[in-house]
Amino acid sequence: MYNVDAYLKSLTSNAVKLSKKVQDGIVENTRDLRFENQAHFLDTNEDKMRQVNRHSLTEEIRKNLDSKYEKEKLDGLKRLIAVSLVVNRGGVWRFPVMISKGRDVSEFFPDVVKNVASNSLEVRKLVYIYILRYAEQEQDLALLSVNTFQKDLSDKNQLIRAMALRVMSGIRVPVISPIVMLGIKKCVTDLSPYVRKIAAHAIPKCYQLDPAQKDALVDIISTMLGDNSTFTIGGVLMAFDQVCPDRLDLIHPQYRKLCKMLVDMDEWGQITAMDLLLRYSRTQFLNPIGKTTSQPTTRTKKEKSVVKSFYSDDDSDVSHHSSDSESDSSEEENNSVDPDLAYLLKCALPLLQSRNSQVVLSVAKLYMHLAPAEDSYKIGRPLVRLLRTHREIQYVVLNNIVAIASQRPYVFDQFYQHFFVRSTDPVFIRNLKLDILTLIATESNITFILRELQEYVKSSNKGFVTQAIEAIGHCASNIPEMAESCLGGLLKLSYSKSDSVAAQSVVAIRRLLQQRPGDSVFMITQLTKALDEITEPLARANIFWLVGQYSSQLQTIAPDVLRKAAKSFTTESESSKLQILTLGGKLVALEGTASKTVSLLLQYVLNMARYDLDYGVRDRARFLRALVYGKQKVAEATVDQDSDENDHENGQQESDSTEQDAQDDEGGFEYSEKELNLSDHIKAILLSEKAAPVQENPSHGKFHGQIINSPYVKLTMPPRYQRALTNLFPRVVLGREQYKVGSMSLVLNRIVAGYEALPDWPKVQPDPSVRRLAATMEAPGYMNDRTGFGSDSAYAKSRQGQDSSVAGGQGRYDNQAGPYRGAETLDKFLESSDEETSSDEEDDSEEETSDEEETSEEGEEGTSEEESGSGKEEDDDEDEDDEEDASSSEEEAILPPKRANGRRG
Amino acid sequence: MIESLFVLSPTGKVIIEKHWHELIPRRVVDYFNEQVSKAMTEGEDVTREDVLPIIASPKYQLINVYRDGLTYLSPVTKEVDPMMVFEFLHRIPDILQEYFGQVSETVIKENFVTVYQLLEEMMDDGFPLTTEPNSLKEIVPAPNILNKVVTTLGATTSVSTRKMPHGMSNLPWRKAGVKYNSNEIFFDIVEEIDAIVDSTGKAVSCEAHGTIQTNSRLSGMPDLTLSFVNPRLVDDCSFHQSVRFNKWESDKVLSFVPPDGHFRLMSYRVNLPSQQNLPIQVKPSINIGANGAKFDITVSLRSTDGKPVENIVLTLPLHKSTTTLTAQCNVGQYMFDPVGKVLRWDVGKIVPRERAPVISGSFGFGSASDAAANAGYNIGVEFLINSHSLSGLKVDVLKLFNESYKPYKGVRTMTKAGRYQVRA
């Protein structure tokens, strides 16, 4: 009986225990269900929250954190994070309970840190977030957690190891930098590529904590560069970029491997790698771009000469010389591409198919800055593809296309249709597309582009219409053959009912006529006919100027235009009045005082102008009167004014080049020095040949356009400053093409802090053998896992399984023929070629032997791997072989043995 | 280096902020909001979409992405490739979409701890770390009801049931140990037609943009090869990370180990010859006077292989000075939005050999103006054709290696109007 009793007793007690346990479980887990909506932690109802006592909430959170149930801990942490991270930083969801910064943090920090060793991954991760965010403010308390992290670095699970290192390096407490250093050293040799990647990411963080560690970190980086995991290498290169970007010598031995691995890296790694390889290549290879170069040295020289030519005439010769010598030197350069460089370009090419737009752009960058010009057509199509993505990405791509097209328009000319503007495009996209259309217009596509541009004039957006008309003008000056039809189109537009369209067309016509004096008579006659209908001041002013400028060819019409203008003088705008005065002056200058009518007309106009409200007009009238009617004293007094006047005129005539300005000035001073009567030279002064306006390069961007063309600037800025600015201009704002493709500076068209220009090509070929000699750097066994995220043992199994059945070994990730084997074949190849013609240099042979040893080791590894995947079908083996052949022949193509040996000797 | 992220609500308030490197003060958001509202008051019809994606302030370059009403703002201080920042910023809503099904202010607030964890994992100290949805799901579990129920019912043990994922896959984009009872894979080939058609009905530019959306529910580590009947049609394409580029280069087949779940396998572009028959023709005629205009628009079917065209919607944005509009249509219904000045005509479905839908009517300007009289008109067109591919690209065969089961395979095609615009 006793037994039974005891049995029953134990049974009941067990049952009680069980039921309690179940109850606990259910209670705990129902809590979880209740909290499905995380916004619960952030009750936004302010009234309700005001009622909650601050104290009680703090207590509650603390209680949760101390709870033995993980769920409750989790709950407390979530609440804490919500409160401290999101709410506490002021602003959005006002939370009157948790008040000022810092206080609650110090309150909870110990409670949180206590949980750092929790068994639950979820709890831990929240703790990590909290620590990362507040460690800086609570340095001493944060140190409490470091012990746990150190322990975690030896955890079985790769995720925990990685996370521990990540958090530890993320705590910005300088004291712990030695510990971080130890952690990095430990993780660098980790078997998991994921952990190694995190270790690489920790390097720059450690460097920031304690720059004194640099040397040790560089050592680590140089070891890690030997890593053959595509997963890790991206992080390593990033660390390289951050810590020791100048140590390009570390890249030598890895160059070919990096090229080969490029296609298999993760997308962000590819971006970093291409940046680095670009920089590397610019210092290690001779310029293959040849004569049509875009190299910065030429550019700066050209710019300089342009600047000079503003001041003196004979500079043009100098600039010729410089460009000649430049082209000479580039001709001397070997136009053939270095095999190593060609290999990089070849490896990067498939990445044009990446879905990551920055990867595509990075390839474009490589091709623009490294490849011979004739290869750059390859980047056109993929860049155009990016136009179908988000508008922000379109914006960047279009900016880059502008820069590329201004150097190499042929890359895009066949894709002109893709740059047609849609009515739904945002403003900034439209303008960029117009710029591109004018840049890529050729004889073959101009008819389509012109038709399209004329369509845009119908838009209801005025700014866009103006741009479109300007674009037509640009097209005409770019392709002289088409100027005729462009002019015809513009003339038609100048009759438009819309004032702004008419005005812009006239301005565009004026610019074109200045470039093509041949057409002027007919066009001007047409324009004067329209004068009665055109009301827009800008358009009228431009017509008056044109008539005056070409009056020698318009002897019948010009005086009549002046007559009409005199009649309507009082109603004209200021800019038109100025131009009418100038017109009168020019006519009189041309015909002398012989023609009485003209002279009388001018006097009439001058009289009217004398009482004008605008001082500019009065000023101009006085000046002209003195000039034409030859009062020497006045003339001398006006010499100084002369330059100002010219500025004025220049300002009106929009982007008349400053060159001409300078010439005019010179003229003025010359006369004053010789103390001659100015009126003797009236013809030379008023009717001098005006230099045709220089067409703005659209790649110079809107900034350029705004300053010169904006009426606002013209009105407010004294002419003297304006000219100073324009003279300065070529130096301040250059074309976008001078910036690195893809950079922020290119998009903004100004140098952004931290921008580093590409290094110049070397003048003398650096030793190419550095890449070859060291091609067999030792790579420790752990680094030979090529694939990412490998769980330590399961990974190997799955890889075997996969390899055995994948048809065609040439995969992106499953191949035994990974980068490592590639390096091996290359070495073998080099070895053999060296042996054949081996020179008697002892140093080399020594190195060779050590290389041999290594390669043989690797060879063994390779075979063992192959054995493990012995279940292969025959087909697969064949494929493998094929590929091997292919890759070795590839190497051959890239490194012709003769050449390689030649360099050695 | 991407230093910080602010996600702003449609009213410009911070929903969530994350600093990967150093704290950037919130002032920067105020400055940004100021600039945006300044830009939007500059012109007459400037919308939020017209605000520049990079706004320079004295200290920061404010890189911003505007998507679905939310602004993703990332101030940067140093030179950085802006495209990379945009690419990354766009990944964030992509991934949130993947996790929560939709992205909005409320969704982010409701799941802010998860969002915060995601942001933590996606970026490390300013450099992208894990952005592949499949890998992220290993690290940050997606909230779903099934998960919750499972943990609740598996009541007895402690919460650490959610053991740390032990075996991560060796492919960043595929989880290890995926198992399904029925293995199936579906391909949706969706082609969008981008076209600009002039008033005579001739296509000024015309091309088809296709995407192959894939839903893979296959166990283990399947290795697939998808081949096309006519791959040469493809003019230009981009692939998911899993696709082996070399195989496409050499054999024009897609060889890949698919991620689990939904993903975009491939995007491609097919240039259509300008003579190509577009599936529908829209013939507008608008006669404009000083005070208003008369218009009629006819829609007719062209070549669709006898398939009906569905969901046809025409939108005609009118000049800002338009005040009144009257119209009649024989099919569907129209709506005039007097605020946005847009006429929207819901045509619905057209079956071949039925009479063509027509809308005709007139609209008037509030005040006679030359500008209104000279403005051009653009008609936006939307439509959808099921089981039709305009480019003619066809899937030939899908082979599966590495796994022994036979999956169920499905392919659907669909043609839609993309950026399709008719000039009147």
Report ipTM for this prediction: 0.91
Phi, psi of A571 (to 5 degrees): -90, -5
Which residues in chain B come in under a pLDDT of 50?
154-167
Max mean pLDDT among A8-17, A496-505, A627-636 falls in A496-505
Task: Name the minimum distance, in Å, from the CA of B65 to any CA of chain A.
Answer: 7
Is B246's CB within 8 Å of A350's CB? yes
pLDDT level of residue A275 (50, 70, 90 thresholds): very high
| A428, two tokens | 């900034």
Instruction: Note whether A179 contacts B: Cβ–Cβ < 8 A.
Output: no
**Cross-strand partners of A260:** none
**A47 pairs with which residues across the strands?**
none
Backbone torsions φ then ψ of A858, nearest 5 degrees: -60, -40
Report the C-alpha gap between A356 and A443 in whole angstroms.
Answer: 35
Confidence grade of residue A360 (pLDDT, cut at 50, 70, 90)? very high
Residue A540 to chain B, least CA–CA distance (Å): 20
Q: Does any CB of chain B come closer than 8 Å to the CB of residue A68?
A: no
CB B84 within 8 A of CB A271: yes
Q: Closest chain B residue to A388 measured between Cα atoms?
A: B209
Lowest mean pLDDT among A31-40, A845-854, B306-315: A845-854
Q: What is the mean pLDDT of residues A312-337?
A: 42
Least confident piece of the model among A200-204, A470-474, A686-690, B235-239: A686-690
**Three-state SS for A662?**
helix
The predicted structure's pLDDT at residue B91: 93
**Residues A465, A500 contacting (CB under 8 angstroms):** yes
Question: Residue by residue, what is the 3-state secondary structure of A175-206?
Answer: HHHHHHHHHHHHHHCCCCHHHHHHHHHHHHHH
Q: Higher confidence at residue A91 or residue A601?
A: A601
Distance from the Cα of B19 to chain A's closest Cα (Å) equals 9
Above 70 in pLDDT, residue A39?
no
Cβ-based contacts of A423 with chain B (< 8 Å):
317, 378, 380, 421
- A357 in B contact zone (CB under 8 Å): yes
The 10s digit of each residue's pLDDT in B260-302 is 888 899 999 888 876 667 888 888 888 887 778 888 898 888 7
Element containing residue A501 per DSSP (H, E): helix A499-515
Alpha helices in A285-314 (DSSP H): 296-309
Query: What pLDDT, on the 0 to 100 scale, is given for residue A2?
Result: 58
Residue of A396, A492, A882 best to disrupt the B interface, most CBs of B under 10 A: A396
- Strands of B218-307 (E only): list them: 223-228, 236-239, 253-256, 261-271, 280-288, 292-301
* Cβ distance of A350 and B223 shorter than 8 Å: no
- Tell me the percentage of chain A whose pLDDT exceeds 90: 8
Partners of residue B207 in chain A, C-beta under 8 Å: 417
Q: How far is A270 from chain B (nearest CA, A)?
A: 12
Q: Report CB contact under 8 Å: B148, A381.
A: no
Model confidence over A548-580: pLDDT tens digits?
Answer: 888 877 778 888 888 888 888 888 888 888 888
Element containing residue B336 per DSSP (H, E)? strand B333-337
Distance of CA B145 to the CA centre of its chain: 27
Instruction: Point out which residues pair with B158 in neighbouring strands.
Output: none
Contacts of B221 in chain A (CB under 8 A): 798, 801-802
Contact B85, B74 (CB under 8 A): yes
How many angstroms separate the CA atoms of A395 and A387, rounded?
Answer: 9
Higher per-residue pLDDT: A713 or A878: A878
CA A97 to chain centre: 46
8-state DSSP, A85: I
What is the model's pLDDT at position A59? 72
User: Which residue of A lies nearest to B198 if distances are taken between CA atoms?
Assistant: A455
Q: Residue B73 is inside which H or E element, if any?
A: strand B70-76
CA angle at A164 for the pair A158 and A169, rounded to the nearest 5°: 130
pLDDT of residue B169: 57
A779, amino acid identity: A
Distance from CA of B248 to the nearest CA of A (A): 10
Task: At A641, list the tokens.
Answer: 């004014």
- Angle at alpha carbon of residue A133, lines to A129 and A137, rounded to 5°: 140
Query: Which residues, 6 or more positions from B319, have their beta carbon under 8 angstroms from its beta carbon?
Result: A460, B341, B365, B371, B372, B375
State whether residue A597 is helix, strand or coil.
Answer: helix
- Tell me how far apart the alpha carbons of residues A112 and A126 are, in angstroms, rounded to a whole number: 9
pLDDT band (50, 70, 90) for residue A773? low
A732 contacts chain B (CB < 8 A): no
At A327, the amino acid letter reads S
Looking up tokens 């520049």 gives B52
Residues of chain A neighbouring B127 (CB-CB closer than 8 A): 201, 235, 238, 268
Q: Do B204 and A420 touch (CB under 8 A)?
A: yes
Angular region, A777: left φ>0, alpha ψ -120 to 50, beta rest: beta
Close Cβ partners of B95 (under 8 Å, ≥ 6 residues apart):
B118, B122, B131, B133, B136
Contact residues, chain B, for A743 at CB < 8 Å: 79, 81-82
Among A747, A779, A768, A746, residue whose Cα is nearest residue A855: A779
Distances (CA, A) of A237 to A226, A248, A817, B345: 11, 11, 23, 56
Please indicate if any CB of chain B lies within 8 Å of the CB of A29: yes
How far, in Å, CA of A673 to CA of A677, rounded? Answer: 11
Question: What is the per-residue pLDDT for B70?
Answer: 93
User: Considering only alpha carbons, which residue of chain B is nearest residue A386?
Assistant: B238
Q: How far is CA B73 from CA A394, A468, B3, B14, B118, in A?
A: 18, 32, 11, 10, 17
**A76 and chain B in contact, CB less than 8 A:** no
Listed residue (A159, A240, A156) closest to A203, CA to CA: A240
Question: Which long-range contacts link B195-198 to residues 24+ away (Cβ below 8 Å)?
Answer: B195/B278, B195/B419, B195/B420, B195/B421, B196/A420, B196/A422, B196/B421, B196/B423, B197/B278, B197/B282, B197/B420, B197/B421, B197/B422, B197/B423, B198/A455, B198/B423
d(CA A353, CA B241): 10
Q: What pLDDT is stored for residue A492 in this prediction?
A: 81
User: What is the pTM assigned to this prediction?
Assistant: 0.75
Cβ distance of A744 and B79 shorter than 8 Å: yes
Give CA angle at B306 (B300, B312), nearest 5°.
45
For an interface test with B, give the residue of A74, A120, A355 to mutate (most B CBs within 10 A): A355
Q: Are β-strands B333-337 and B322-329 bridged in parallel, bridged antiparallel, or unpaired?
A: unpaired
Q: Please tell me which of the candidates A463, A788, A802 has its beta carbon nearest to residue B172.
A: A788
Length of chain A: 905
CB of A27 less than 8 A from some CB of B: no
Contact call for A159 and B160, based on CB within 8 A? no
pLDDT at B408: 92
A760 DSSP 8-state letter: P
Residue A18's pLDDT is 66
- What number is the average pLDDT over the span A473-478? 82
Residue A742 near chain B (CB below 8 Å):
yes
Which is more confident, A258 or A655?
Answer: A258
Q: How many C-beta atoms lie closer than 10 Å to residue A358's C-beta?
A: 26
Cβ contact, residue pair B159, A385, below 8 Å: no
Window from A30-34, A227-231, A497-501, A522-526 with minimum mean pLDDT: A30-34
CB pairs under 8 A between A and B: 323
Residues of chain A found within 8 Å of residue B370, distances taken between Cβ atoms: 497-499
The pLDDT of residue B150: 53
- Residues B402 and B222 sit within 8 Å (Cβ to Cβ): yes
CA quadruple B393, B394, B396, B402: dihedral sign: positive
In single-letter form, the type of residue at position A452 comes to E
Beta B408-423 vs B184-197: how paired, if at all?
Answer: parallel
What is residue B75's predicted lDDT score, i.e. its pLDDT?
Answer: 93
Residue bearing tokens 């249509």: B329
Q: Report the residue of chain B nearest A25, measured CA to CA.
A: B155
Closest by Cβ to B371, choosing from A28, A125, A460: A460
The reply to whether residue B81 touches residue A39, judged by beta carbons under 8 angstroms, is no
Mutation for testing the A interface, residue in B64, B68, B77, B127 having most A CBs under 10 Å = B127
pLDDT for A328: 39
CA of B6: how far to CAs of A17, A186, B19, B64, in Å?
Answer: 50, 35, 9, 9
Question: Which pLDDT value is given to residue B88?
Answer: 94
Q: Is the CB of A420 less than 8 angstroms away from the CB of B163?
A: no
Residue A400 has pLDDT above 90, yes or no: yes
Residue A296 has pLDDT above 60, yes or no: no
CB contact A749 to B (< 8 Å): no
Q: What angle do CA B84, A744, A132 make, to 5 degrees?
A: 55
Cα dihedral angle (A203, A205, A206, A208), rounded to 10 degrees? 130
A residues 99-158 closer than 8 Å to B (CB): 119-122, 125-126, 128-129, 132, 157-158
Q: Between A121, A125, A361, which is nearest B83 by CB?
A: A361
Phi, psi of B358 (to 5 degrees): -135, 140
CB of B281 closer than 8 Å to CB of B201: yes
Q: Work out the average pLDDT over A174-185.
A: 89
